[in-house]
Structure 1
Amino acid sequence: MTGPAGVPGRRTYGLTIETQGLTKRFGQQVAVDSLDLAVPSGAVFGFLGPNGSGKTTTIRMLLGLAAASAGTVRLLGKEMPGSFQDVLPRVGALVEGPAFYPFLSGTANLHRLDAAGRHADPATRRERVGLALERVGLGHAAGKRVHAYSLGMKQRLGIANALLSPRELLVLDEPTNGLDPQGTREVRNLVRSLAADGTTVFVSSHLLAEVEQICTHAAVMSAGRLVAQGPLAELRRSGSSRLRLVTPDAGPASSVLAALGLSPETGAAQPDGDVLVAALATPGFQSEAGAGQPAAEDIVAELVKAGVRVRGFAVERESLEDRFVELTGEGFDVAQ
């Protein structure tokens, strides 16, 4: 069979991860509330939300590490946890930080972890361990004892463990935690290369910049609930836009904008005597016409037709950060 990105041997699914009504309660507290998640095959999917929003609890339920209170989970087209013996060998995961034997080397740790896998081939173990260490940039430190590793090196060793065998799905919980800028770039490049090979990558993060740089799709969690999901470009377009017009003819300009279905607001006078007029546009407003509103160039044409002197005109779109803060009511870390 041919799977995502034309990789031979990969099975093809419409959705690599699918949940319906997934819920987790701890006593009276609802940590995850009726989650309907849809992760397309071959996507780099960002699972985004402030710390404490339910991301790690969701991942633990997806992988069968925690029992759901309600709802269903399907991974690689199969029901979980009933099919975990078939599914989990095809899934690599790094959840809640890696743990290793501190007085063994990185290589020795990976050999022990690989030997614990029932499906791991001992004949290829040395080669696979070496390749995994090189892929995460730890080839130079393969013989060093793990207690001498930095936090970032331990994080990369955990990713190497997830890559010891070919994976159809890779689940990474805060994969750049503790990494310096160079290490962060290496992990991003690694995620891109895995996706190019057809692996679906599910990345949980509270770092907006990380999701923006590597993800094709995203979901936003807030207080245990899913508040948005879809292609990243679609999430960017879903916010509102603001038109900014500089003109000495504020009154006529406001009349034209109002007639076009916009909501003009006259601002303060500029140093040269012109007036700034702002108008709120509908979500998804772009340079082209849409949502019942004219295109930006048609707005300018109508202003000129009415005799309005246009000294400046711009469409300012709501940033992805603004959109996520609007959805969650909480801030995000936008840089590491």
Structure 2
Amino acid sequence: MTSGLAIETRGLSKHFGQQAAVDHVDLAVPHGTVFGFLGPNGSGKTTTIRMLLGLAAASAGTVTLLGQEMPDKLHAVLPRVGALVEGPAFYPFLSGAANLHRLDSASPHTVPATRRARVQQALQRVGLEHAAGKRVHAYSLGMKQRLGIANALLSPRDLLVLDEPTNGLDPQGTREVRNLVRSLAHQGTTVFVSSHLLAEVDQMCTHAAVMSAGKLVAQGPLAELRQAGSTRLRLVTPDGGAARQILAGLGLVPGLGDAEGEPARSGRPGPQAPEPRRPQPDGETIVAALDASLQPAVLPEDVVARLVQAGVRVRGFAVERESLEDRFVALTGEGFDVAQ
């Protein structure tokens, strides 16, 4: 892949009547990454995945998968892609192993001589070897989800597309899927994970993209998406007036908070009398936003040094960065489910 991208879309769109389910999405998924595809339910994630895999026709735009244009090169590309989309479907009265044998035999690209060994290995990788002979109708939702991932791993894959892979899994199963995804990435497989569970993406992925109402609102390395969020400084001092002057001189706008983490209130005088503050033994708590656009840049250690030089007594100082959840909710204006 000369572009270095496992997945690339340009202006990808899907309309249902007058409604734009996916609106001019430009995805860029680097090869060898674990890429989280984030967004609230109904934001267009699954529709996008269906277009990537040729399961739905795009209304506009282009899709390139593993360096090949889709859907023109579908038959050449899909044997190199494993996928679990919208939950797995199996023959309920066949065992898990029998289902995998049947699905593998339906592919013209697999080798019958290695089928039994590959099925056994796939079941072991997802922790289902003990239930290989059990009929699927007796499987739990989490077991069916694991069997779907096993089906996607029956043959070596350059790209693995997983739509909500931890759906229905208990904490142990979730951890096992997370470790499996990481091991696949270490072996060179690109893993594209669609999810609305921020905690899972935060622990599993190296890159991410955020969808909201059919539009792509952010994408890039996860570390960069975190850094794009806001940073606050929380200072505890008995010398509130002098501290606010120093902060203002550095270009920071100080407000008032408290030690228990209540929202900051504006420190500027207003037409109404300020709310009474509870006395604190260490002084008052001042919260100020650290603006990354300030030139020259102001670092937290610079703030502490200036306060100490001015004789301000610093009895507490903390740097509070916007969480991944805060950042994505700010981008989408909607809530996400957060894994426990």
TM-score (norm 1): 0.93
- How far is 1:294 from its partner? 2.0
Structure 2 residue aligned with 1:180: 170
**Aligned in 2, Cα 1:180/1:261: closer, same or farther, shift over 3 Å?**
same
1:272-297 Cα offsets, whole Å, 9 max, x none, are 1611111111259xxxxx86322211
1:326 pairs with 326, 330, 334, which one? 330
2:283 pairs with 250, 274, 277, which one? 274
- How far is 1:118 from its partner? 1.0
SS of residue paired to 2:127? coil
Give the counterpart letter for 2:98 in structure 1: A
Verify the 8 A CA contact 1:47 1:219 in the aligned structure 2: yes
1:63-99 Cα offsets, whole Å, 9 max, x none, are 0000011111111011111111111100000000011
Structure 2 residue aligned with 1:44: 34
- How far is 1:53 from its partner? 0.6
**Aligned in 2, Cα 1:222/1:103: closer, same or farther, shift over 3 Å?**
same
Structure 1 residue aligned with 2:307: 303
- How far is 1:20 from its partner? 0.8
Matched, 1:314 2:314: no
Name the CA distance, whole Å, in 2 between partners of 1:304 and 1:76: 56
Name the CA distance, whole Å, in 2 between partners of 1:13 and 1:150: 41
Structure 1 residue aligned with 2:59: 69
Structure 1 residue aligned with 2:70: 80
- How far is 1:189 from its partner? 1.1
2:213 pairs with 223, 227, 237, which one? 223
Name the CA distance, whole Å, in 1 between partners of 2:89 and 2:152: 13
> Structure 1 residues 263-272 or 320-329, which shifts more?
263-272
2:5 pairs with 4, 15, 23, which one? 15
- How far is 1:263 from its partner? 1.0
Verify the 8 A CA contact 1:132 1:164 in the aligned structure 2: yes
1:239-298 Cα offsets, whole Å, 9 max, x none, are 0011111111111211111111111113445421611111111259xxxxx863222111
Structure 2 residue aligned with 1:94: 84
Structure 2 residue aligned with 1:59: 49
**Aligned in 2, Cα 1:330/1:137: closer, same or farther, shift over 3 Å?**
same
- How far is 1:13 from its partner? 5.1
Structure 2 residue aligned with 1:108: 98
**Aligned in 2, Cα 1:118/1:270: closer, same or farther, shift over 3 Å?**
farther
Q: How does 1:204-283 map to 2 (within 5 A)?
A: 204-267=194-257, 268=277, 270-272=279-281, 274-283=283-292
Structure 1 residue aligned with 2:117: 127
Runs of 4+ aligned residues of structure 1 deviating over 3 Å after TM superposition are 266-270
Q: What is the total number of aligned residue pairs between the two structures?
A: 321
Question: What runs of 5+ residues in structure 1 fail to find an aligned partner?
Answer: 1-10, 285-289
2:151 pairs with 144, 150, 161, which one? 161
Verify the 8 A CA contact 2:13 2:60 in the aligned structure 1: yes
Name the CA distance, whole Å, in 1 between partners of 2:14 and 2:134: 40
Name the CA distance, whole Å, in 1 between partners of 2:282 and 2:73: 71
Give the counterpart letter for 2:126 in structure 1: V
Verify the 8 A CA contact 2:236 2:282 in the aligned structure 1: no
1:179-208 Cα offsets, whole Å, 9 max, x none, are 111111111111011111110000000001
Quick one: percent identity of the two aligned structures?
77
When the two chains are superposed, the root-mean-square deviation of aligned CA atoms in Å is: 1.4
Verify the 8 A CA contact 2:40 2:334 in the aligned structure 1: yes
Name the CA distance, whole Å, in 1 between partners of 2:3 and 2:180: 23
Matched, 1:199 2:189: yes
- How far is 1:329 from its partner? 0.9
**Aligned in 2, Cα 1:276/1:73: closer, same or farther, shift over 3 Å?**
same
Give the counterpart letter for 2:317 in structure 1: F
1:146-204 Cα offsets, whole Å, 9 max, x none, are 11111111111110100010000000000011111111111111101111111000000
Structure 2 residue aligned with 1:30: 20
Give the counterpart letter for 1:278 in structure 2: V
Verify the 8 A CA contact 2:85 2:162 in the aligned structure 1: yes
Verify the 8 A CA contact 1:243 1:316 in the aligned structure 2: yes
**Aligned in 2, Cα 1:162/1:192: closer, same or farther, shift over 3 Å?**
same
Verify the 8 A CA contact 2:290 2:298 in the aligned structure 1: no
SS of residue paired to 1:304? helix
Give the counterpart letter for 2:280 in structure 1: P
